[in-house]
Amino acid sequence: MINKSLLSLTMLMLCLFSRNYAQEIYAGRYKAVFTTAPQKVPTAKTPDGPLAGNGDIGLTLGGSPDKLSLYLGKNDFWRAYPVYPGGGIALPGWLEVKISALQGANFYAEQIQDKAFIAGKFTKENLTVSMNAWVAATRNTVVAEFIANKACSMKLGLYATKGNTSINTDGQNGEVIWVTRSFENTPLLEWPSHIAMALKVVGARVEKDGTLNLKPNQRVSLTVTMYTNHDRKDWKERTIKEAQSTTAGSIATMKKAHEAWWKDFWGRSNVRINDPFIEKYYYASQYLFGATSRGDKFAPGIWGPFVTRDSSAWGGDYHLNYNYQAPYWAAYSSNYIDQTDNFDQPLLDYMEKGKQHAKDLLEIKGIYYPVGIGPKGLVTTRWPLTPEEMLKRYATRENTIDGGYKFLGQKINAVFSVGNMLMRFYSTYDAVYARKIYPYLLECANFWEDYLKFENGRYVIYMDHYGEVMPNLKNNGQWRDQLGDFNSTLSVGLVKMLFKGIIDVSTFLKVDAERVEKWQHIVNHMSDFTVGEVDGKLSLKGVEKSPSAWHSRIAGLARVSIHGLILPGGVCGPKTDSAFNQILLSDVSRWKERMKAPGEWANTLGNGIETCFPAAVRVGYDSDEILKQLKDRITLQSLPNLWITADGGGTETLAAVPLTINEMMMQSYEQVIRIFPNWNKDKDASFDQLRAYGAFLVSSSLEKGEISYVKLLSEAGRPCIIDNPWPGKKVQLMRNGQKAELLSGNTFAFDTKPGEYLEMGIEK
């Protein structure tokens, strides 16, 4: 007898081997190419230069060939001040490399994404200097390797950013040059931040003035080691000591570990759709997310670790009414679960303050969050601290609105993040994770149980606003006349999501059974989403009632409503309510009618590319048209480093292309797996190891109009429900390589075991 566990492991290893090979081909095919020096470095938003990162440290290349600037960002280096500008994520500093002989030289660089390298080549006449820069995936070190075909000199400078109340020091220990930057002892600073950066040159001697003379074909490595006090207590000593111990051998070891980490990253999942343009941005977005977020480090803010100046837009904070959540949305189905480990901690850390806000400002239980927070219980969105500054920025002296915090008329800032928590829970059924997030879910439930009103047989929501309501210069400081939204689609959807989810999690954990009846009553009796009639067709309304003429109109499905209904709400779709889904589908079809120019589909230039495109897939809009509009949108507004930009934020756009394609390949909302649910069956495509709800890793291939196979790995041994990939045909189920059940019908349901490998094909 063959041991079934061994067979399962063997089959899995074969599968992993084949997809690793495929992924190296596809991820390695695409890179960003730069033929001119970056124009938006430094910037308050997303830089346009070549980028590399390890999910904690970010490297942004700026400057010109004769004066290269390697900007060094770090996700945990914050000025923990409650107001921006001034508060928020801060710039540690930069490494400057001056090569005067390259003044006026040609600029050429590549962002090589499968290896996470920045390769540069700078040429003037017969002098060429090549650079290979990277952020070590497993160490707190940045490496920039230089080689020149002719002798030339370089002048090096390591700089810590000054100003904004920081304290700076510098020094030299033997061959190591170091600088520090600290925020401490400033009024209202919630906690101190310190960072040290240490430069060690390997392969050449550096003169006292920072000059380094390169010999022909001599390889020189510039290494910068970085630690903060959030990494370790001995942040400065460790930085200097680690830099001192850096050698050519240790760099080679770091590089080997770096390449192994990225090889594993690219082996988690892949898609192949025979569309080079979309594939390029698919893999670029996955790369940028991998460079931005690391599960065991601080969560990335709006710009990730690619900050190039202090006081970046919105303080680079955790904006809770979609910006913070959105970058992670593709990570769950892409099987990058460990990259999402950092998401929950800032939310958990703010819970005590959130309880106090609910008690003090609304006199109810649960948690109530402002629009922007940071790490370690930091609030970033206080109104300006003086009436004079308030008047200057918001045209009113009233800086005590809602106790001095920016809630902006919205009650959903805490519950919004429940969507991400449920995505991960349903994708893994991990009991440890469920116990971690359950207290947060419970406090959200406590809040909404208190806040909801039960009227005329339904639960209704007063004074939670579809959009941000606040004083500003445009409305001359007048804003209260816009308060009064009733049953916003955003609120109704997210609250329904919350109570459906907490029933599932509490049942899974076998806790609070006595509360399930109440929660189910809320789910069953939540207000319906409001619709109206436009040109004889039903269409979605953003709110049931509102004093705002803009929100009162029948505008159809749009970004904000999508958040409550589809993503992350997940309470609507073709399977949930086919009649209502037809209304949403009709609304999506009108997006094209409202366009004034290519790229403006769904009005996503400001915000929402990561929301509207996947939502269009989910409701069943034509996939070819979606891809056409996606290409136009990317072409209209993206950067040379392949970062798709939006006016309202940065990192959230990284989910747009991966999530759109993943949803076309495979869907699993409501625990039902669907293979190629919205894809032109005349186009060949395949995917490996996309993660489905129920903790299944799913692979499939479509060739010449036919699905060739469906493979699943059951991680948690959950029941599997899957729509028949071959409608009308009987399907043979294989378990660990052995024939098992013969399945028939429109939808199959069968039990699985943990670690079981399953394969499906047409009965022969």
* Rounded Cα gap, residues 448 and 446, in angstroms: 6
pLDDT of residue 710: 98
Residue-wise pLDDT tens digits, 293-325? 999 999 999 999 999 999 999 999 999 999 999
User: Would the pTM count as exceeding 0.85?
Assistant: yes
Q: For residue 431, what are the CA distances in angstroms to 354, 415, 638?
A: 25, 21, 40
A 10 A CB-CB count for 600 gives 18
User: 292, 302 in Cβ contact below 8 A?
Assistant: no
Residues in the chain: 764
666 membership: H or E segment, kind and range? strand 666-667
* Rounded Cα gap, residues 604 and 637, in angstroms: 10
* Rounded Cα gap, residues 249 and 327, in angstroms: 36
Residue-wise pLDDT tens digits, 630-648? 999 999 999 999 999 999 8
Give residue limits of the domains in the chain.
4-12+673-762, 35-267
User: 585, 522 in Cβ contact below 8 A?
Assistant: no
- Contacts (Cβ under 8 Å, ≥6 apart) of 256: none
Residue-wise pLDDT tens digits, 413-436? 999 999 999 999 999 999 999 999
pLDDT band at 649 (very low <50, low <70, confident <90, very high): confident
A 10 A CB-CB count for 589 gives 16
From first CA to last CA, the distance across the chain in angstroms is 26
Average pLDDT over residues 456-467: 97
Torsion angles phi and psi, residue 516, rounded to 5: -65, -35
Percent of residues, the chain, with pLDDT higher than 70: 97
- Sign for the pseudo-dihedral over CA of 538, 541, 546, 551: negative
Same CATH topology for 4-12+673-762 and 35-267?
no
Picking from 653, 493, 492, the residue whose alpha carbon sits closest to that of residue 567 is: 493
Mean residue pLDDT across the chain: 95
Percent of residues, the chain, with pLDDT higher than 90: 93
Torsion angles phi and psi, residue 117, rounded to 5: -115, 155
A 10 A CB-CB count for 128 gives 18
pLDDT of residue 15: 47
The strand order across the sheet containing 106-112 reads 31-34, 106-112, 117-124, 127-135, 141-148, 220-228, 193-202, 176-183, 167-173
- pLDDT beyond 50 at 174: yes
Torsion angles phi and psi, residue 695, rounded to 5: 65, 50
Q: How many helices (H) and strands (E) does the chain have?
A: 18, 36
pLDDT of residue 23: 55
35-267 belongs to CATH 3.90.230.10: no
Structure tokens at 634: 């990317």
Picking from 386, 132, 266, the residue whose alpha carbon sits closest to that of residue 688 is: 266
* Rounded Cα gap, residues 342 and 90, in angstroms: 19
- pLDDT beyond 90 at 13: no
Residue-wise pLDDT tens digits, 705-741? 999 999 999 999 999 999 999 999 999 999 999 999 9
Q: Please report, as a single letter, which amino acid is at residue 675.
A: I
Q: For residue 426, what are the CA distances in angstroms to 208, 333, 668, 697?
A: 58, 11, 10, 13
* Rounded Cα gap, residues 614 and 531, in angstroms: 22
* Rounded Cα gap, residues 437 and 186, in angstroms: 33
User: 739, 730 in Cβ contact below 8 A?
Assistant: no
- pLDDT beyond 80 at 381: yes
Residue 194, beta-bridge partner list: 182
R_g of the chain, CA atoms, integer Å? 27
Torsion angles phi and psi, residue 376, rounded to 5: 55, 40
- pLDDT beyond 90 at 7: no
- pLDDT beyond 80 at 21: no
Average pLDDT over residues 742-749: 96
Torsion angles phi and psi, residue 716, rounded to 5: -105, 0
- Exposure pattern of 455-467 as b/e (b: 16+ CB <10 Å)? eeeebbbebbbbb
Structure tokens at 710: 């469906």
A 10 A CB-CB count for 631 gives 16
pLDDT of residue 11: 43
236 membership: H or E segment, kind and range? helix 235-244
Coil, strand or helix at 658? helix
Mean pLDDT is lowest, of 20-24, 442-446, 585-589, 603-607, for 20-24
Residue-wise pLDDT tens digits, 651-708? 999 999 999 999 999 999 989 999 999 999 999 999 999 999 999 999 999 999 999 9
The distance of Cα 342 from the centroid of its chain, to the nearest Å, equals 11
pLDDT band at 4 (very low <50, low <70, confident <90, very high): very low
- pLDDT beyond 60 at 19: no
Q: For residue 344, what are the CA distances in angstroms to 241, 282, 544?
A: 33, 25, 32
pLDDT of residue 27: 82
User: 678, 697 in Cβ contact below 8 A?
Assistant: no
368 membership: H or E segment, kind and range? none
- pLDDT beyond 80 at 396: yes
- Contacts (Cβ under 8 Å, ≥6 apart) of 120: 50, 61, 68, 107, 108, 109, 110, 130, 131, 132, 133
User: 92, 178 in Cβ contact below 8 A?
Assistant: no
Answer with the residue of higher pLDDT: 655 or 2.
Answer: 655
Average pLDDT over residues 514-521: 98
Answer with the residue of higher pLDDT: 18 or 300.
Answer: 300
Q: Please report, as a single letter, which amino acid is at residue 521.
A: H
Picking from 187, 561, 555, the residue whose alpha carbon sits closest to that of residue 386 is: 187
Average pLDDT over residues 351-367: 98
**What CATH architecture does domain 4-12+673-762 belong to?**
Sandwich (2.60)
Structure tokens at 737: 């390589």
A 10 A CB-CB count for 388 gives 11
Average pLDDT over residues 52-80: 98
* Rounded Cα gap, residues 501 and 508, in angstroms: 11
- pLDDT beyond 70 at 742: yes
User: 375, 346 in Cβ contact below 8 A?
Assistant: yes
Interstrand relation of 88-89 and 78-79 (parallel, antiparallel or unpaired): antiparallel
Q: For residue 570, what are the CA distances in angstroms to 226, 319, 557, 561, 721?
A: 41, 21, 15, 12, 17
Picking from 101, 584, 77, 132, the residue whose alpha carbon sits closest to that of residue 375 is: 77
A 10 A CB-CB count for 15 gives 18
